[in-house]
Amino acid sequence: MKSVLVLYYSQSGQLGEILTNLVSPLYNDSNCSVTIHQIEPEEPYSFPWDKKEFLQVFPESYLQIPRPNKPIPDDIKNKKYDLIIFGYTVWYLSPSIPINSFLKGDDAKVLLNNTPLITVNGSRNMWVLTQEKIKRLLVDCKAELVGNIAFVDRHWNHVSVITIVHWMIGGKKTKYLGVFPKPGVSDKDINEAGKFGVIIKKHLFQKSFEHMQEELVNDGAVRIKPFLIRSDKSGNHIFSKWSAHIYKVGLKSPEKRVKWLNFFEYYLQFAIWVFVPIVFIIFLLTYLPFYARIKKDIKYYQSTRLR
Ligand SMILES: Cc1cc2nc3c(=O)[nH]c(=O)nc-3n(C[C@H](O)[C@H](O)[C@H](O)COP(=O)(O)O)c2cc1C
């Protein structure tokens, strides 16, 4: 009998749905016991988001400052698992606060220690550097990262920016104005998530995860658009400055924090609609000279290695 634990945090339920489908081949196997547990912050984040709250979580998300979660129940915590499937979402190019808080807490040190783990992310599309942050936190927990699957919105980047705001602030995963595509991960990708569960199950019972990631990647588990790597890197550079400043100002004056968050919002709009297209043109112009480097980067971010 194999025992599998699915741990995740999801607000809208999208990631929960992805994971339920993904583990269905394991769930339906009588030789497998699957436990699913959702990480819960002590003070929940409201969904749909209030626009101000959406901005308020920026500094702490990016700086990876933890906030308390409810403890993992003892009956889940005190068991040893053959595999952990760890579902996370991205907030401001970093692990969402509940996920970061879990990985930095004592429960994770107990649960994840010396256990094979597969990360599954359900984000808009900019997750590659967040995965690097997750990898480092997993090293601290002595977890053994054996796989990664990324579920993203596959529409054009700027379209997904518009539609995700409609979803996060409005609360409904519907077509904005009736003309934009549905936000988030497509129904097709969500419905077909079980195909990855089949691969995972095979390796779980073979008692070796050695070539599992290659198989998952060949089946489309990690599709990377190279421009998004470049955007993620630039975004991290810029966010590190803004978040540190806003956090520091906020410690002395909550009013000034709000003021700076408003500046940040204007800056973000400028960056998305002016700066990113310029970087995109430069990226296209320099694509050929950097081709070998881009290929190498894609291979690396599709893997479970940590540089
Ligand atoms: C505050 C906030 C910031 C986000 N920042 C990012 C981001 O930087 N990159 C990204 O790909 N998705 C980002 N997202 C989208 C989430 O990763 C995720 O796809 C979405 O919140 C749905 O997740 P759910 O399963 O928790 O409902 C953000 C969402 C929120 C709420």
Cα 34 to ligand 1 centre (Å): 26
For residue 137, tell me if it sits in a domain.
Answer: yes
Do 153 and 295 lie in one domain? The reply is no
Burial pattern 42-71, b for ≥16 Cβ within 10 A else e, equals eeebeeebeeeebbbbbbbbbbbeeeebee
Do 141 and 261 lie in one domain? The reply is no
pLDDT digits (tens, 9 = 90+) for 148-203: 999 999 999 999 999 999 999 999 999 999 999 999 999 999 999 999 999 999 99
Do 267 and 121 lie in one domain? The reply is no
pLDDT digits (tens, 9 = 90+) for 95-153: 999 999 999 999 999 999 999 999 999 999 999 999 999 999 999 999 999 999 999 99
User: Which pLDDT score, from 0 to 100, does residue 80 have?
Assistant: 96
| Containing structural domain, residue 216 | 2-223
Atom 30 of ligand 1, residue of closest alpha carbon:
91
CA distances from 125 to 1, 110, 183, 203, 286 (A): 36, 31, 11, 28, 22
In ligand 1, the atom with minimum distance to the C-alpha of 185 is 19
User: Which pLDDT score, from 0 to 100, does residue 274 have?
Assistant: 94
pLDDT (average), residues 230-253: 97
Q: What is the CATH number of the domain that holds 73?
A: 3.40.50.360
Atom 31 of ligand 1, residue of closest alpha carbon:
91
Give Rg (Cα) of the chain.
19
- Band (pLDDT 50/70/90 cuts) for residue 251 is very high
User: Which pLDDT score, from 0 to 100, does residue 183 have?
Assistant: 98
Side chain identity at 86, as an amino acid letter?
Answer: F
Residues in a beta bridge with 145: 117
Q: At 280, list the tokens.
A: 């995109």
SS (H, E, C) 241-296: HHHHHHHHHHHHCHHHHHHHHHHHHHHHHHHHHHHHHHHHHHHHHCCCCCHHHHHH
- Give ligand 1 pocket residues (Cβ under 6 A): 10-12, 14-15, 54, 57, 89-93, 122-127, 168
Do 205 and 248 lie in one domain? The reply is no
Side chain identity at 143, as an amino acid letter?
Answer: A
In ligand 1, the atom with minimum distance to the C-alpha of 235 is 8
Q: For the whole prediction, is pTM greater than 0.95?
A: yes
Please provide the average confidence, as pLDDT, over all residues in the chain: 97
Do 183 and 244 lie in one domain? The reply is no
Atom 6 of ligand 1, residue of closest alpha carbon:
91
User: DSSP letter at 176?
Assistant: G
Cα 104 to ligand 1 centre (Å): 20
Do 56 and 148 lie in one domain? The reply is yes
Cα 171 to ligand 1 centre (Å): 13
